[in-house]
A and B are shown apart, each in its own frame.
Chain A
Amino acid sequence: MKHLSEEEQLDIYYEDGSEESKAHLKACRECSAEYAKFKRSLDAIKPEAVPTRGADYGEQVWQRLQSRLIPYEKKAPNWRKWMTWRAAALAAGCAVLLAAAFVGGRYWEHLRASQQPEIAGNGQPQQRVVLVVLTDHLDRTERLLVQLNHADAEDKAESAQLQTEARELLASNRLYRVSASKEGDPAVAGALDRLERVLAEIANDPQLTATDLDRVRKDMNTSGILFEVRVLLARKPNQEGGPTSAKGVSI
């Protein structure tokens, strides 16, 4: 038979003992005697008398303590708290929008950059402007060549007008030719090169006589160049798929 340990006796003393322990204590004379001694020893430990304190003791404690306390800050009214939260949420929302705009912009730029060659091939507004300008130039050139082919050799005034027009066209023609060469369009560059020689011949002739005009028509094959210009004017709009009014070539 196992007797109660000191720990089990302590549990019984503080009324935490198990039913089994309590039953054993009742049944076992030896454990009862041991427990009686245990109980006496603990009963002897009595609480020391606590010095009495007067009714105003709490007040005394408070008076000593008071000066050491820092008041809590008054809580903000609910509406202010709500406004603070709202402002914080608004600021957070703005920050998110800004971040989204920034990231979106970066993505859009990236997308545009990657699509650039394809867009260039399809003809963009900037290129269309160039096409329209070139078309105008070719129109004027066409008119000049038609005028040249049918010019009255004896009419000096008409010759002078041809020369003036040729000088104006010569400068712009040079620019278009250089651009076409850079863009790698040999057909346009070649046509503009031949046209430039005709324009230069007319513009730089000191006295544009009937003989000179005839020579230019024959030697430089102005009819052939006129045909080339017309082909260019007729070809480009269909290829670009752009506005029907916009005639011209890609440079």
Chain B
Amino acid sequence: MQGNDHSIVRAVLAGDKEAYGALVRAHSAAVFRVAFRIAGNEADAEEIVQEAFLRAYQRLDKFEQRSTFGTWVYRIAVNCALNRVGQPGIEAEYRYGEESDPEAKTVQVAAQDADPERVLLGREVSAAQELAMQRLTATEKCAFVLRHLEERSMGEIAEVLGVAPNAAKQAVFRAVQKLRRELAPLRGNA
């Protein structure tokens, strides 16, 4: 696959635009998955997928043949997602009832919870988790998603985020601390 991807990249750079379609078809699902996990909603994830493949195409002449195209476009997608999550206008459609009193916290989930799986797992737990995730910084969220959900190594996370491995580790640690603190009342109730 890797060798095939490289030959397709060469064809695209030689002027065959249509060949890029094969790369998009092959890697769209993986890119969508990570985009959704970081962005937290389908609409943003779709836009991230488009943006990632567009950016990859525009920078294809800088693609180093040492890595696979899949890994490369994955990193670009994470960066796109990071930028999107970091934008102040992009906020989850959640609102706290009372911020000051943790005991009296209520969760209001807007629109998206028609998913039957979520209903089964427990609407409150799932929503609280999502809410806690939204309260992380963009870097913390990205680092946590990559480590905890995508099971990427610290080295990979550091490379994707463009930071030192120790800084990536610290970002994951801060995210875990915040999430545990946020979800502690829920664990107490359980």
Contact = CB atoms under 8 A, between A and B. Distances in A.
A57 B15 CA distance: 25
B172 A42 contact: no
B154 A74 contact: no
B21 A72 contact: no
A80 to B, nearest CB: 14
A64 B51 CA distance: 11
A70 B154 CA distance: 36
B183 interface: yes
Interface in A41-61: 41-42, 44-51, 53, 57-59, 61
Interface in A1-35: 6-7, 10, 14, 16
B117 interface: yes
Interface in B74-109: none
A50 B36 contact: yes
B74 to A, nearest CB: 15
Residue from A48, A49, A51, A75 having most chain B Cβ neighbours under 10 A: A48
Contacts, number: 102
Interface in A98-144: none
Contact of A47 (B21, B37, B57, B115): B37
A72 B60 contact: yes
B169 to A, nearest CB: 8
A157 interface: no
Contacts of A69: 17, 20, 54, 57
B28 A72 contact: no
B50 interface: yes
Contacts of A72: 12-15, 17, 60-61
B138 to A, nearest CB: 17
B179 A45 contact: yes
Interface string B18-35: 001100111111001100
Interface residues of A, number: 34
B68 to A, nearest CB: 16
Nearest to B184: A41
B115 A16 contact: no
A74 B21 CA distance: 18
B12 to A, nearest CB: 6
B49 interface: yes
Nearest to B57: A69
B176 to A, nearest CB: 6
A3 B130 CA distance: 32
Given A50-B37, A51-B36, A58-B29, A71 B15 contact: yes
Given A6-B177, A50-B36, A75-B15, 6 more contacts: A42-B176, A49-B117, A61-B25, A69-B17, A70-B17, A74-B14
6 contacts: A41-B184, A47-B148, A48-B36, A48-B126, A61-B53, A65-B54
Interface of B: 12-17, 20-21, 24-29, 32-33, 36-37, 40, 42, 49-50, 53-54, 57, 60-61, 115, 117-118, 121, 125-126, 129-130, 147-149, 154, 172-173, 176-177, 179-180, 183-184, 187
Interface of A: 6-7, 10, 14, 16, 38, 40-42, 44-51, 53, 57-59, 61-62, 64-66, 68-75
